[in-house]
Structure 1
Amino acid sequence: MEQLTDLKAILHSKRANIYYLEKCRIMQKDGRVLYLTEDKDEQLYWNIPIANTTVVLLGTGTSITQAAVRMLASAGVLIGFSGGGGTPLLMGTEIEWLTPQSEYRPTEYVQGWLAFWFNETQRLKVAKHFQLLRIEYLQKVWAKDKDLKNEGFFIDDLDIQQAFSGYSSKVEQAGNVTELLLIEAQLTKNLYKSAVSRTQHKDFARNYDGADSANAFLNHGNYLAYGLAASTLWVLGIPHGFAVMHGKTRRGALVFDVADLIKDAIVLPWAFVCAKEKMSEQEFRQQILQKFTEHKAMDFMFEQVKQQALREPRP
């Protein structure tokens, strides 16, 4: 039991690593989790610091042993199967998350979440609150990120201000989740236009199966955000099915709700910037993970989900 406790000593919101692995074998050896790659005539072992890792994404050509899964579970690491480059293998819409099974997670958050979840009006209020938080976070990130400013992303530019114009009032006036989803989609579409104009990415159209770099990076970055969201919900003990927005259309829906808090702020602009710079998948991934850490994306997810779980339902 002492070893298991040590593996969870670092809070998930403070862990530094997300791993994407392909063409390798993951195994347990001498009390550590390693991945094995083959280089010509030799085999190379690389260590995964599981106590400081939130998510391991397994891409094409990977296998994992039962012993390695057991150790990853004991450290509270989520495992996701994906297609090449960290994006899904089928239709670009789903990863099956393998969550560590533990009956010793907190109970107050799931109980607080369910206290309002069965009331449709309360559920809609939380969905609206998440949308407003999403904009607040984006404005905060874009206002202080010097690297984004160097790329021409200024929060007070006219087109960006117009994208936000009236958004809060539209969200407040939405009568149901369907209306809210349409308002959200229009905002994201306007932000795409702003990013395209700054990076000169011609003829862009959002396509999950698109072969261009911007679409591939958007997919990749979004799934890194989904990994953070899935980790947040697992640690807090809230099942993915209790969504406030995406529940009627997608499995694992609450993961998408929580990931939306930070996707537009970080993944969206950097997908276009990195595509303009002709970065590799690995370089893009490093850039996104650096920005997640710099802007404390996971801390923000934890804070907001906890606040909503412990809020007093209003009559």
Structure 2
Amino acid sequence: MDNFSPSDLKAILHSKRANIYYLEYCRVMQKDGRVLYLTEAKKENQYFNIPIANTTVLLLGNGTSITQAAIRMLAQAGVLVGFSGGGGTPLYMGNAIEWFTPQSEYRPTEYLQGWMSFWFDDNKRLDAAKQFQQARIEFLHHVWGKDRDLKLEGFTTNDSNIEAALQRFDERMVTATKPSDLLLTEAQLTKQLYKFAANVTNTSDFKRQHQSTDKANDFLNHGNYLAYGLAATTLWVLGIPHGFAVMHGKTRRGALVFDIADLIKDAIVLPWAFICAKENLTEQEFRTQILQAFTDHKALDFMFEQVKKVALQGHDETEGQSQ
């Protein structure tokens, strides 16, 4: 433990890290300079290592506990820790996951300063929201056009209904004059995407309900919270507080997390939630599939690129930035 410094543990950039963990019914601890989780087996307890230097997010579900020593090492490695309900989603009476972000006085300042240079101007904030929405659609085209498995399942933007929905979205986004207009346009598009996904996977009578118990809704909730973890990591690394949203409203403390997560939710989480529900996969199998898709399509890299682009527009990017 004494042989490690924080710089040693941050050798892998957050945008290149491969692992997100969801744990339940276990104890997370530090042992011999490593972070482990302990599970109780019938005959003996089992220890499993968490490679913290290559991990972005750790979600702790039902029946978990964590030691102070483990938290200290996770903070040194820059891993975000969140507490959640079962399956990576909040309890019915809970609110959004509370992200425990590692504390450091050496977070970058240029991105926050760039963000603040436009955030208090309503028109510029709306322009930033539109940029994110355009990037979201471009990513949808990219993923659905490139992913062979999604194509085989019928997910393509060449479908006439999807083309029409995206065209309407583009037209309404350009003419939107306030964030509520964008939110309404986004909701209409997402409704069309749900309908399309339900049709191609033969999911009957689907209705989006956050507290529903059917597999498609459960997997959508689960996948969305994994996307929130990536978004929270992006903002923490770049030093931008979660409250400075451009679309989801000033009254929600973590609203910028939702803004950034939206960049990848439709392209990756939505189709795989329906596909995995159709195939009757377990939560663990679904989570494995989603995390692999995040890696294959460089979702975290894409989030970093878009947030940096918006934060630094009109500013010269300095040399030697950390991310």
3-state DSSP of counterpart to 1:20: strand
Q: Give the distance between the partners of 1:138 and 1:91, measured in 2 at CA.
A: 33
Aligned to 2:321: none
Aligned to 1:44: 46
Equivalent in 165, 188, 192 of residue 167 of structure 2: 165
Per-residue deviation, 1:250:
2.8
Percent identity between matched residues is 70
**Residues 113-138 of structure 1: per-residue CA shift (max 9 Å, x gap):** 00100111100000111111100110
Q: Give the distance between the partners of 2:95 and 2:151, measured in 1 at CA.
A: 31
Aligned to 1:279: 281
Equivalent in 107, 110, 123 of residue 108 of structure 1: 110
CA 1:208/1:92 → structure 2, altered by over 3 Å: closer, same or farther? farther
Amino acid in the other structure paired with 2:73: M
- List 4+ stretches of structure 1 deviating above 4 A: none
3-state DSSP of counterpart to 1:206: coil
8 Å contact 2:25–2:63 — kept in the other structure?
yes
Aligned to 2:184: 182
8 Å contact 1:91–1:208 — kept in the other structure?
no
Amino acid in the other structure paired with 1:117: W
Q: Give the distance between the partners of 1:126 and 1:210, measured in 2 at CA.
A: 33
Q: Where do 1:251-290 residues align within 5 Å?
A: 251-290=253-292
- Superposition TM-score, scaled by structure 2 size: 0.95
Unmatched tracts of structure 2, length 5 or more: 316-323
Equivalent in 51, 54, 57 of residue 55 of structure 1: 57
Equivalent in 8, 19, 22 of residue 20 of structure 1: 22
Equivalent in 209, 212, 215 of residue 213 of structure 1: 215
Amino acid in the other structure paired with 1:10: I
8 Å contact 1:92–1:208 — kept in the other structure?
no
Asked if residue 126 in structure 1 is aligned to residue 128 in structure 2, the reply is yes
Amino acid in the other structure paired with 1:82: S
**Residues 114-168 of structure 1: per-residue CA shift (max 9 Å, x gap):** 0100111100000111111100110111011100011011221112112212221
Q: Give the distance between the partners of 1:12 and 1:162, measured in 2 at CA.
A: 37
Unmatched tracts of structure 1, length 5 or more: none
Amino acid in the other structure paired with 2:130: K
Q: Give the distance between the partners of 2:114 and 2:42, measured in 1 at CA.
A: 55
Aligned to 2:70: 68
Q: Give the distance between the partners of 1:101 and 1:235, measured in 2 at CA.
A: 11
Aligned to 1:243: 245
Q: Which moved more, 1:122-131 or 1:153-162?
A: 153-162
Amino acid in the other structure paired with 2:129: A
3-state DSSP of counterpart to 2:5: helix
Per-residue deviation, 1:251:
2.7
3-state DSSP of counterpart to 1:165: helix
Equivalent in 231, 234, 257 of residue 232 of structure 1: 234
Aligned residues, how many?
A: 313
8 Å contact 2:243–2:250 — kept in the other structure?
no
